[in-house]
């Protein structure tokens, strides 16, 4: 217990000493909410050369006198400190891998007790607010949002979207026992779990996967290739999880890929005419280390598509250049992300011309099939710098491309439906040209 106390004091000192204000130069600005979610401001140019990253200590915080223990000893965990406040109340600290950083305060931890009891846990953050609504699980695989009666927002924010709308702290009341309880900001999809999903699809003869590079910590970057036969065909490029907490974007991408890989006549025909290349986890280090935003180089990967200082973006660039040299032509590119609400970030046709019109046709078709949720669209007419994926894909590989964002709290059944509809409408559009 003494060692835990000393460790906690060290963490608290680091937490206090490294407090830097969240820089506007590396965040999504809080949008105006008068007309719904307006999206983020144009992405600023930021350096992408490696910056120091503070690794979280891994271990167990035990409070023997209260029989309760907390742990971050699993992939995608984030827990930086725990204190017992007495009367079965605990405060946990969540800190970022480095600063300045986008305000996406990821957390994930396990808690259990030698005897059944009810405890209250307060979530406290470094220079942030409580963005993600807690999810609970008894097996680490299947998560459900905590019941609203067991959740308390402390110092509620203002508005509907953005970090200023989030509460400063949150308290959750949970039942603990010897049966481990997982508490997480979003569902857990570590790089190993995603690889199992890839392998489950790769049993189909028209799907294969291989490694196209390695991350900072030498984790493999896996690419899926979906298509019938070995004849060279027009291609679609799909990426996801540049930013670790953006699980809703991953879930939509998962449904998108499963639909294209399915048994429908539309999917079979599409696979005969097109090849899909997909990188489901672009930032495996960030995902497995429970990062808020960055890779192990301390960099936002979706700001490195011009300088390519990071091994993850270098791997994608090398792959695309290789396919270009082989004669592949890319017909479409989509990068799945998450933010405060569903929104599309296409390139304006004033800069893409007719070639980019297919992106807006696609958005329209998705919206017509899913009218129950408002469509937010925020085009950009800037082709320089190419530091974000969508712009690089168009400028360097002439593919119409989009950043496809899903809301943090978008219902999971709708995420699955939206991924399916997006895949179906893209397959129809590409085959109608």
Q: What whole-number percentage of the chain has pLDDT above 90? A: 86
Please count the other Cβ atoms lying within 10 Å of the Cβ belonging to residue 278.
25
Query: What was the pLDDT predicted at 342?
Result: 97
Query: What was the pLDDT predicted at 35?
Result: 54
- Which residues make beta-bridge pairs with 36? 34
For 192, counting Cβ atoms within 10 Å of its Cβ (0-12 exposed, 13-18 middle, 19+ buried), the class is: middle
pLDDT, tens digit, 9 for 90 and up, residues 309-326 = 999 999 999 999 999 999
For residues 29 and 388, the model is more confident at: 388
Q: For residue 181, how far is the Cα from the chain centroid?
A: 23
Query: What was the pLDDT predicted at 307?
Result: 97
CATH code linked to domain 2-184: 2.60.40.3120
Q: Is the domain covering 191-432 a CATH 3.10.580.10 domain?
A: no
**3-state SS, residue 331:** strand
The pLDDT of residue 34 is above 80: no
| Residue boundaries of the structural domains of the chain | 2-184, 191-432
pLDDT, tens digit, 9 for 90 and up, residues 242-271 = 999 999 999 999 999 999 999 999 999 999
Fold match flag (2-184 vs 191-432)? no
How many CA atoms, within 13 angstroms, populate the side-chain half-sphere of residue 354? 1
- DSSP conformation class of 147: P
The pLDDT of residue 15 is above 70: no
The two tokens of residue 219 are 């984790």
Distance (Å, rounded) from C-alpha 101 to C-alpha 23?
A: 7
Which of 41, 51, 53 shows the shortest CA–CA distance to 14? 53
Query: What was the pLDDT predicted at 1?
Result: 47
CA distances from 147 to 133, 134, 151 (A): 10, 9, 7
Query: What was the pLDDT predicted at 14?
Result: 41
Distance (Å, rounded) from C-alpha 212 to C-alpha 214?
A: 7
Distance (Å, rounded) from C-alpha 242 to C-alpha 301?
A: 6
CA angle, 348 then 234 then 232, to 5°: 160
Please count the other Cβ atoms lying within 10 Å of the Cβ belonging to residue 79.
25
The pLDDT of residue 12 is above 60: no
Contacts of 201 (CB under 8 A, 6+ apart): 207, 224, 257, 258, 261
The pLDDT of residue 206 is above 60: yes
Pair 346, 360: CB distance under 8 Å? yes
Q: Indicate yes or no: pTM above 0.95.
A: no
pLDDT, tens digit, 9 for 90 and up, residues 406-430 = 999 999 999 999 999 999 999 999 9
Q: Which helix (H) or strand (E) holds 84?
A: strand 81-86
Taking the CA atoms of the chain, what radius of gyration do you get in angstroms? 22
């Amino acid at each position: 217990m003494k060692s835990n106390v000393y460790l906690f004091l060290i963490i608290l000192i680091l937490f206090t000493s490294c407090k830097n204000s969240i820089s506007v130069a590396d965040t999504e600005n809080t949008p105006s909410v008068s007309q719904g979610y307006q999206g983020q401001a144009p992405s600023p140019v930021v350096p992408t050369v490696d910056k120091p990253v503070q690794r979280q200590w891994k271990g167990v915080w035990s409070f023997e006198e209260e029989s309760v223990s907390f742990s971050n000893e699993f992939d995608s965990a984030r827990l930086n400190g725990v204190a017992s406040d007495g009367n079965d109340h605990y405060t946990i600290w969540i800190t970022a891998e480095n600063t300045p950083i986008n305000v996406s305060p990821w957390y994930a931890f396990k808690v259990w007790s030698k005897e059944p009891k009810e405890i209250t846990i307060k979530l406290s953050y470094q220079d942030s607010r409580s963005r993600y609504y807690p999810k609970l699980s008894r097996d680490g695989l299947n998560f459900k949002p905590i019941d609203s009666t067991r959740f308390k927002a402390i110092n509620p924010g203002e508005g509907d979207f953005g970090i200023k709308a989030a509460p400063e702290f949150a308290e959750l009341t949970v039942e603990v026992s010897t049966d481990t309880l997982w508490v997480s900001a979003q569902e857990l999809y570590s790089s190993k779990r995603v690889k199992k999903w890839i392998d489950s699809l790769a049993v189909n003869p028209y799907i294969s996967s291989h490694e196209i590079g390695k991350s900072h910590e030498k984790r493999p970057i896996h690419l899926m290739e979906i298509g019938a036969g070995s004849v060279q065909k027009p291609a679609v490029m799909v990426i996801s999880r540049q930013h670790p907490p953006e699980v809703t974007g991953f879930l939509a991408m998962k449904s998108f890929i499963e639909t294209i890989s399915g048994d429908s006549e539309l999917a079979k025909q599409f696979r005969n005419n097109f090849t899909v290349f997909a990188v489901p986890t672009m930032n495996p280090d960030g995902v497995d280390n429970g990062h808020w935003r960055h890779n192990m180089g301390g960099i936002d990967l979706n700001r490195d598509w011009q300088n390519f200082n990071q091994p993850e973006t270098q791997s994608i660039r090398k792959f695309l250049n290789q396919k270009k040299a082989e004669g592949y032509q890319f017909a479409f590119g989509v990068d799945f992300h998450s933010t405060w609400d569903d929104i599309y970030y296409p390139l304006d046709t004033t800069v893409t011309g007719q070639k980019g019109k297919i992106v807006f046709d696609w958005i329209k078709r998705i919206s017509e099939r899913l009218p129950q949720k408002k469509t937010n669209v925020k085009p950009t007419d800037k082709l320089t710098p190419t530091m974000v994926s969508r712009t690089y894909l168009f400028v360097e590989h002439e593919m119409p491309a989009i950043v496809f964002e899903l809301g943090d709290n978008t219902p999971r059944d709708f995420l699955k439906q939206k991924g399916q509809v997006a895949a179906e409408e893209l397959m129809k559009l590409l085959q109608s040209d």
